[in-house]
Amino acid sequence: MTDTLRDRALADGLALHARLDAFCDEAWGRLRGTIEQQGELADGLDDAQVVSYELVFASAELHAMRSMLDYAIACGGSAAPLEETMALAFAADAMVKVRHRIDKVRHAVGIDSARYCAVFEADDLLTFCQRWLAPAHLADAGRRILDAGNGGRSLLPEDKQIIAASFARVAEEVVAPLAERIHREDLTIPDEILREIADMGCFALSIPERFGGTAPDGGHDNLAMVVVTEELSRGSLAAAGSPLTRPEIMARALLAGGDAEQQARWLPGIAQGQPLCAISVTEPDCGSDVAAVRLKATKTDGGWLLNGAKTWCTFAGKAELLLVLARTSTDADAGHRGLSLFLLEKPATDEHAFEFRQPHGGVLSGKAIPTLGYRGMHSFTLFFDNVFVPAENLVGGPRSEGKGFYLTMAGFAGGRLQTAARACGLMRAAYNAAARYAGERKVFGKRLADYQLTLAKLGLLGASLRACQEMTYHVARLMDEGQGQMEASLVKLYACRAAEYLTREALQIHGGMGYSEETAVSRYFVDARVLSIFEGAEETLALKVVAREKLATAQAR
């Protein structure tokens, strides 16, 4: 194919993306119109969950498709055959997936067959998908990736590439040698890893320079956070990529609502990993429904008493500072307006169970929850029995009482973006393992990498990985500009789902060895499964965050 035809293919992809994006906007508008005919928009969303869920993921597919096409064009179009080959295959695959999702729900929003066929049965779309999903093209993409030894060039700024190289060394030399033992023996993250990432400034990434961090005083450096998280997660999701999330959420909450004294007291230490942090929000009966929190905070002399239970408090044993969301209002109808945030100090422990007794008699106890994967961090169920928190540890002081929900949400947006970066790092580790194994393993007299099916898989998987990376970098830049809150949820949804599939296929390429704990790919597989659950479960993010935003901005039809 000539360079002119290749460049035209990318232009065709952009044109098709614009058409599908407009169609998806139309579907959101039709859904909004349907809901409003039956009553208030907020009240009717629960009756449109299935449609909303499919449309959210269609929007995510289109976001990824645009990110990948933009990446290939920035690499030079036809002058970058590897990147272009991946982008065209990915774009075609995204179109097929969007078509499938829309087809499932189009009748529910009143899209008739003529309108649907005008878009999805159009000759140019069918020809594009047929050409770039052809087995020969997919195999060519896989072969190019294997030959290059990577999934396309990095377009990160030079300073971020230097950061990536520094943390790649940490992942390979410090984290990776310990990762399997941590997983198999269910250990708490060793101090040598925590010291190394603290010394490298990992806990300082979300904290402004004036408090001893590395973020600009006027904002955030989300792109640096994403790059560091991705590299460390490549070494181990739980033991290296995830310890950064907790100080990220806590720092954002303190910066959004903490008073000057609290910021000066806590942020410099958090930047150095002293104290280590954990976030205590989820409860046994409310899951991702943060507004339903019931842990009670009652005023007492000099502070507050906490009573109730929390669960899935990751790193609660090792942490010396917990950010706790509790209900301070006695009004039963206050909902999310009755919540406040507290900073609770406690001793650190490596044990899987602990009991901390305060001098006045309060007891905080915790027990680690046995999990399928994601070992090293350990998620705890916590029980609060008259646990005392001094008045000065109410985040924001009396003026912020009842504002804990909003401060928590301010922290979670960054955590969701960082989770997408964690997914990218895990995918890179799994993909590299699959590519190495395919090049070494012989079946029926040939290397796995010499079979068309293996190459086709590696082609699409490599393109998916690159698309997730480019989406994540794009959203990081948006958030650095003060935007991208909804997009952070969207990229978290997409990258975490992609990580599940990629690690599954990486394990499959390993065959029986993939199911054995003798290979790291089994760890990647079980670790990936948690990504769509924490930092906002997939369904909650899709329906309560992204769908609401999409419907609020859609034009009713």
Rounded CA gap, 522 and 514, in Å? 6
Alpha helices for 188-240 (secondary structure H) = 191-199, 222-235
In 3D space, the residue among 255, 234, 182 whose CA is nearest the CA of residue 414 turns out to be: 255
Map residue 317 onto helix, strand or coil: coil
Q: What angle do CA 361, 362, 364 make, to 5 degrees?
A: 135
Torsion of Cα atoms, 38 then 40 then 44 then 46, to 10° = -170
- What is the DSSP secondary-structure string of 372-428? SS-TTT-EEEEEEEEEEEEGGGBTTGGGGTTBHHHHHHHHHHHHHHHHHHHHHHHHH
Rounded CA gap, 418 and 315, in Å? 17
- Single-letter code of the amino acid located at 325: L
CA distance readout (Å), 210 to 273, 283, 389, 524: 17, 35, 27, 38
Query: pLDDT value at position 287?
Result: 58
10-30: average pLDDT: 95
φ, ψ for residue 192 (rounded to 5)? -65, -30
Beta carbons within 8 Å of 65's beta carbon, 6+ residues apart: 13, 17, 90, 91, 94, 95, 467
Question: Does the CA dihedral 415-417-422-423 come out positive or negative?
Answer: positive
Beta carbons within 8 Å of 276's beta carbon, 6+ residues apart: 194, 243, 246, 315, 318, 319, 320, 321, 348
pLDDT tens digits, 318-370: 999 999 999 998 776 666 788 999 999 999 999 999 999 999 899 999 999 99
pLDDT tens digits, 527-538: 999 999 987 889
Options 230, 231, 535, 538, the catalytic residue: 535
Q: Which neighbouring-strand residues pair with 355?
A: 365
Confidence band for 4, pLDDT divided at 50, 70 and 90: low
Residue that is written with structure tokens 């300073």 in the block = 159
Burial track 308-342 (b if 16+ CB lie within 10 A, e otherwise): bebbbbbbbbbbbbbbbbbbbbeeeeeebebbbbb
Contact 368, 352 (CB under 8 A): yes
CB neighbourhood size of 218 (10 A): 7
Q: What is the share, in percent, of the chain residues with pLDDT greater than 70?
A: 96
Contact 256, 323 (CB under 8 A): no
Query: pLDDT value at position 442?
Result: 93
CA distance readout (Å), 401 to 253, 321, 406: 14, 20, 11
Token duo for residue 16: 């098709």
Rounded CA gap, 70 and 67, in Å? 5
Q: What is the share, in percent, of the chain residues with pLDDT greater than 90?
A: 76
Listed range (282-296, 382-396, 432-446) with the worst mean pLDDT:
282-296
Residue that is written with structure tokens 């906490």 in the block = 306
Query: pLDDT value at position 498?
Result: 97
Q: What is the mean pLDDT of the chain?
A: 92
Token duo for residue 6: 């290749």
Confidence band for 91, pLDDT divided at 50, 70 and 90: very high
CA distance readout (Å), 172 to 178, 179, 236, 344: 10, 10, 10, 35
Contact 9, 91 (CB under 8 A): no
Q: Which neighbouring-strand residues pair with 388?
A: 305
Query: pLDDT value at position 472?
Result: 97
φ, ψ for residue 294 (rounded to 5)? -125, -10
Q: Which domains does the chain have, with CATH numbers?
A: 3-133 (1.20.140), 277-405 (2.40.110.10)
CA distance readout (Å), 178 to 31, 46, 173, 199, 335: 50, 46, 9, 18, 44
Rounded CA gap, 137 and 196, in Å? 44
Cis-peptide into 275, omega within 30 deg: yes
pLDDT tens digits, 156-209: 999 999 999 999 999 999 999 999 999 999 999 999 999 999 999 999 988 999
Q: Which neighbouring-strand residues pair with 327?
A: 296, 339
Token duo for residue 403: 């504002």
Contact 140, 454 (CB under 8 A): no
CA distance readout (Å), 113 to 107, 119, 127, 404: 9, 10, 20, 48
Confidence band for 409, pLDDT divided at 50, 70 and 90: confident
pLDDT tens digits, 443-499: 999 999 999 999 999 999 999 999 999 999 999 999 988 888 889 999 999 999 999
Active site residue 535: yes
